[in-house]
Amino acid sequence: MDFLRPATWAEALAAKAADPTAVPIQGGTDVMVEINFDVRRPPALLDLTAIGELGDWELTADGLLRVGAGVPYARIITELGDRLPGLAQASRTVGSPQIRNRGTVGGNLGAASPAGDAHPPLLACDAVIEAESAARGTRMIPATGFYLGVKRNALEPDELIRAVHLRPATGPQYFSKVGTRNAMVIAVCSFALALHPGERRLGAAVGSAAPTPLRARAAEEFAAREFDWSGATALDPALLARFGELAAEAASPIDDVRGTAAYRRHAIAVLARRTLTWAWNDYRGKAAA
Amino acid sequence: MTQTARGTGSDLGVGAGVPRPDGLLKVTGEFAYSSDLYLADMLWGATLRSPHPSAWIRAVDVGPALAMPGVHAVLTHEDVPGERFYGLEHKDQPVLAIDQVRYQGEPVAIVAADHPETARRAADAIVVTYEPREAVTDPRRALFDPGCPKVGPEGNLVRHQPVRVGTVPPTAEVVVTGEYEVGMQDQAFLGPESGLAVPAEDGGVELFVATQWLHVDQDQIAPCLGLPKDKVRLALAGVGGAFGAREDLSMQVHACMLALRTGRPVKFVYGREESFFGHVHRHPARMRYEHGATREGRLVYVKAEIVLDGGAYRSSSPAVVGNAASLGVGPYEVDNIHIDAYGAYTNNPPCGAMRGFGAVQACYAYESQMDRLAEACGLDPVEIRVRNAVSQGSRMATGQVIDSPAPLAGMLRELAAMPLPGSSCSPDLRALPGGVAQTTHGEGVRRGVGYGVGIKNICFSEGFDDYSTARVRVELLGDEPHILVHTAAAEVGQGLVTVQAQIARTELAELADLGAARVTVAPADTSVGSAGSSSASRQSYVTGGAVRAACVAVRERLAALRAEHPGLGPAELLRAHGPVEETREYRHRPTHPMDPLTGQGDSHVQLALCVHRAVVDVDVDLGLVKVVELAAVQDVGKILNPPALEGQIHGGSAQGLGLALMEEIQVRDGRVLNPSFTDYLIPTILDMPPMRLSILENPDPAAPYGLRGAGEPPTLSSTPAIAAAVRAASGLALPRVPIRPQDIALAPAAPAR
Ligand SMILES: Cc1cc2nc3c(=O)[nH]c(=O)nc-3n(C[C@H](O)[C@H](O)[C@H](O)COP(=O)(O)OP(=O)(O)OC[C@H]3O[C@@H](n4cnc5c(N)ncnc54)[C@H](O)[C@@H]3O)c2cc1C
């Protein structure tokens, strides 16, 4: 197996163009497990860890946070927790401290597992993935168009992920994940919510309950239509219940070793109601203040 | 592992909190496990395993594997030099499958190559033609349906052990019935099966291996290799946990066969997934219980049917069945008992020894029943247990009289009197069900408290000749008296090496008190007599007894020498006389088989009690559980090493917690669905709560130092205590462990009881 270690982004793109079968490796917390378990034996690994800029994040001129593909979860929690609370909460649930020190959002996107924890908050927050190839340059892919199937994403063979673009939170955000133990667990199902009160709408997304992570569109539309976005009133329990139902309906879960389809649907409804309650209470608190 | 420490007898003797020699090495990652073994010219072994739970083997073509560069040998059953079957109690398991496979993962062929990956690729290249056939996967059907295909040599019954005491009246004032199920738990040790076989000049082989009982391995390996026992020499390599899973052979014969065939050292290390197929698991159980009692909650009768799924081979299933039967009513006084315990052959993964060994499954059921009975009688769960508790002088279900202290009622009262933890209104998510995954900020969370009581037999039962051997030598090294303790007892992480040295210091205090005496515990190997297994909570008792006996013999020799040479100190004596060495075998008192029709007989050596109280917070909407606190009272007779003992109680309780809430090998149609630590979940530090412990020391006069085996009892009672607490919080019947989130969250709206 070849081990390629480009020192710059341009070199990395060139290497990927020269050998599209080369497998990028950032934190290695997915790649090394697959190699170790003999799931795959790629002809070449493309190590991105020498490219310093992938580990940086910045506030762009248009007010977006541009988070490098190589920023580990641990730094998202400590450095961006205030501006990206949903993603930070999701990061906090990933694996163990060791995994959070190594693992990255870029790697989560590269793996595109339906159970990846970064995906629901990225979807709920309208994130855009910055992909790039030597041949065609930069391509901005909205998260909603990024996940194509189980462990399949929208990257072309010669493309690499450079960064993720997200708006700093414009309202309360929450992430919830069900697992069968209290730490270090792959999601049985998960739910992310981001309120955008200025736009009188919210983003809602479901994880680990369909072949891909996905937005709960009907729940989002229902919230935009039915909620009192002045923030003056508490949410009617009937609205909460309906929101939960619509979130659950967005899922198309299966029975597997981690849980049953029926349980996943049920749990998503519970998570949707709870996260919405927390977010709405935060919002009303702010609106009242 | 060798331990050498300096100090005086009293601060390093029996009862002292002597630190373990392997502790620092293990937490710093420097400990050499069996998987770290290395020789420059060694080959790597790999195993081809059956993908089918049940199939005929029509043909095996090793040609493609042999043709691969780097491959040194590819062996099948035809290459087994000696006997083709082995087994712990009964030789029914083929070294390599012959004409059929009976479980998914059964070894079919083995390969030695110069690189582990080459070995694996070569194993994959072997072409096996299978003819799959119906797999028997329902143990009840295996046992009771005459039309069911036969898995075992004589049918599907491994053992049926009845217990018949008194008469079982059809009715009592209060009757509760229940059907309970225990899933298949795995020992989940962290160090996978591994070892290194080195061909020896005399035509024999030396095997360095992580195991629980060197001599029983030797007894099984030598005949398969067609070698006399003295040509198969074993030495213990660093053991990364055991819990019963290393009692049966895994790679031992395979490595030796390949080493003898190639003339090169051969190393095996199973991967994690392979490990799930490489050892036996805890028997899944289905149990029907009926308890009859007076209105006051005194037990009148217990009826039970216990079905244990032993999987494809016998392993230690007969003894597991014996335990389930003899301990099937728990530590309660009952005059009328009717138990039928069965072990079944199926094409599910083989099951055998795991911490608690048959007693765990029964305990979950009888304790669940005691809670139902308490409710039916309007009694508190502690009170119903106190009213029926055994004590010294009580008769067990087997008729055996408990002849050492068994202060169960007092233990329960002490447990119930312990303060309860406060409610968790903490804003820290880690204190809530779901942890930082933030599934609740308190919504749906209900508190529950539950109790569990367990009784476990210590040492091997039912007439087994259970002994250990110790050789103790005192000599001058560098002009200082030095004590060498040598046994074949396997240190599997329980702290036995430390305890052996502590015993030597106490028994040879006259040397140790010189302040200069050193004690070394020699590495365990087969150049000394058998120590028996590191299982059944028996090593402190039996090997501890042997070390003590050998030390006493040495002490007596020294005393005689001193009498001959008055005025000489220990060092001068040893200088004048030379080393003093004694070897002793220690046997506990004999036990007797259970009567095959009535189950009566003094089948056990010693009985040990542990009681648990669990406090849980349950998110009843999502079915997630946070165990807030576990409290336990255990009577150990005598504390040999306080931190080591507490570690055993913590660890045993954690393993019981795992069985209650998450640990299950999921098997469908004979196939394992979750052979990985991604999906076979064991408790993390956020799942295992702090423990409140009270450890009692009511000595057993028959045992060395009065001690009572301690490793298993906490594994029994923590499971039912946690299940009871979850029931109390949720109001649900929950007749199965592990309790899955959907069992709570999707339970029918009306509580099932
Ligand atoms: C013990 C353990 C626990 C875990 N727990 C969780 C968990 O709770 N939740 C969860 O979501 N995940 C979990 N994971 C999976 C893993 O940690 C995450 O998916 C993580 O985000 C991967 O990041 P990485 O940087 O390590 O990726 P890598 O392993 O380096 O790469 C992952 C994939 O992304 C591709 N890739 C990496 N960088 C790029 C790039 N710049 N451009 C294009 N493709 C790229 C790689 O080729 C590979 O296909 C766990 C893993 C382990 C080992």
Ligand 1, from A108, A146, A176, A212: best to mutate by most atoms within 8 Å of Cβ?
Answer: A108
Q: Crossing angle of helices B496-507/B539-564, nearest 10°?
A: 30
From B222, B256, B278, give the residue that closes a domain: B278
User: What pLDDT shows up at residue B6?
Assistant: 43
From B553, B572, B591, give the residue that closes a domain: B572
Residue ranges in chain A modelled with pLDDT below 50: none
State whether B408 and B490 are in the same domain: no
Instruction: Give the 3-state secondary structure of residue B536.
Output: coil
User: What pLDDT shows up at residue B752?
Assistant: 41
Which CATH topology does A2-166 take?
A: 3.30.465
Average pLDDT over residues B78-82: 98
Flag whether the ipTM exceeds 0.90.
yes
State whether B477 and B439 are in the same domain: no
Number of domains present in the structure of chain B: 3
Tell me whether residue B527 is in a domain: yes
Helix and strand numbers, DSSP H then E, in chain B: 19, 29
Which range of residues forms the domain containing residue B11?
A: 3-31+467-572
Give me the residue spans of the domains in chain A. 2-166, 176-288
A33: alpha, beta or left, given left = phi > 0 and alpha = psi -120 to 50? alpha
Tell me whether residue B204 is in a domain: yes
State whether B654 and B724 are in the same domain: yes
Tell me whether residue B510 is in a domain: yes
Instruction: Give the 3-state secondary structure of residue B707.
Output: coil
State whether B429 and B483 are in the same domain: no
User: What pLDDT shows up at residue B4?
Assistant: 43
Average pLDDT over residues B227-244: 98
Tell me whether residue B668 is in a domain: yes
User: What pLDDT shows up at residue B63?
Assistant: 98
Average pLDDT over residues B591-620: 98
| Residue listed under structure tokens 């994959």 | B124
State whether B610 and B551 are in the same domain: no
Please enumerate, as own/partner, the contacts of B463-466 that have beta carbons within 8 Å and a separation of 24 or more.
Answer: B463/B590, B463/B591, B463/B592, B463/B593, B463/B603, B464/B591, B465/B587, B466/B532, B466/B538, B466/B542, B466/B587, B466/B588, B466/B591, B466/B605
Tell me whether residue B314 is in a domain: no
Residues 85-124 of A with CB under 8 A from B: 89, 92-93
Report the CATH number that the domain containing residue B73 is assigned in CATH: 3.90.1170.50
User: What pLDDT shows up at residue A231?
Assistant: 85
| Residue listed under structure tokens 């977006």 | A64
Least confident of A195-209, B328-342, B468-482, B609-623: B468-482
| Tens digit of each residue's pLDDT (9 = 90 or more) over B503-553 | 999 999 887 665 556 899 999 999 999 999 999 999 999 999 999 999 999
| CB crowding B269-303: b at 16 or more within 10 Å, else e | bbbbbbbbbbbbbbbbbbbebbbbbeeebbbbbbb
Hey, are the CB atoms on B681 and A177 less than 8 Å from each other?
A: no
State whether B557 and B479 are in the same domain: yes
State whether B657 and B715 are in the same domain: yes
Q: How confident is the model at residue B749 (pLDDT cuts 50, 70, 90)?
A: low
Strand partners, B182: B285, B737
Tell me whether residue B518 is in a domain: yes
Q: What DSSP assignment string belongs to A67-88?
A: EETT-BHHHHHHHHTTT-HHHH
Which CATH topology does A176-288 take?
A: Enolase-like; domain 1 (3.30.390)
pTM: 0.97
State whether B202 and B253 are in the same domain: yes
What is the CA(A10)–ligand 1 centre distance, in A?
22
Ligand 1, from A19, A30, A133, A156: best to mutate by most atoms within 8 Å of Cβ?
Answer: A30
Report the CATH number that the domain containing residue B13 is assigned in CATH: 3.30.365.10
Is A39 touching B (CB cutoff 8 A)?
A: no
- d(Cα B533, Cα B247) in Å, to the nearest integer? 8
Give the number of other Cβ atoms within 10 Å of residue B706's Cβ. Answer: 16
Tell me whether residue B318 is in a domain: no
Selected residue of B115, B622, B668, B679 to mutate for chain A interface (largest A Cβ count, 10 A)? B622
Tell me whether residue B182 is in a domain: no
Tell me the chain B residues in contact with residue A38 when contact means C-beta distances shorter than 8 Å: 120
